[in-house]
Amino acid sequence: EGEETITMAVSNRYNLSWARGQLANAYPAPHARRYFDRLMASMRERGAVGYEIDFLDFNYLLFEPFNTDLEAAHEWLSAMGDAATAHSLPIQYCMPLPSDLLESVLHRAVTNARASHDYQPGGDNWNIGATSLLVAAVGLRP
């Protein structure tokens, strides 16, 4: 009695050293599924209702295997998507490249993608036209 319930969405935010460490822990593919299963299970236990993977563009640009191995990014996103599906957590892609959006059609857990730039005062966050067309074309919500 007296316990408070907190509903939350969890985000992986970008930090160069952390991102490289996180990607290294979640790669290669056999490790990726175990990593994401543990992560998603832990999130569900704590009341998470969604998962946002942020700075997808930097993940690809800064993690060498994604630039040198044709299957690496697919295997990584598949492990993430499969684990999220198994733990009933939707995924939001943030700062996705067109290749991420095309990949999303393979993963039921991916429900939406952010179509705007980062939220900055006085910015043009309303300008989602071109990006939202691709987001909608692959069946996601911007």
Compute the mean pLDDT over every residue in the chain, rounded to the nearest whole number.
81
Read off the pLDDT of residues 98-121 as tens digits, 9 standing for 90 and up: 999 999 999 999 999 988 777 667
Residue 39 predicted with pLDDT over 50: yes
- Please report which helix (H) or strand (E) contains residue 94, including its range: none
Q: What is the pLDDT of residue 2?
A: 59
Q: Is residue 82 scored above 90 in pLDDT?
A: yes
Q: What is the mean pLDDT of residues 57-72?
A: 84
Residue-by-residue DSSP string for 24-84 = HHT-SHHHHHHHHHHHHHHHHHTTEEEEEE--HHHHHHH-HHHHH-TTHHHHHHHHHHHHH
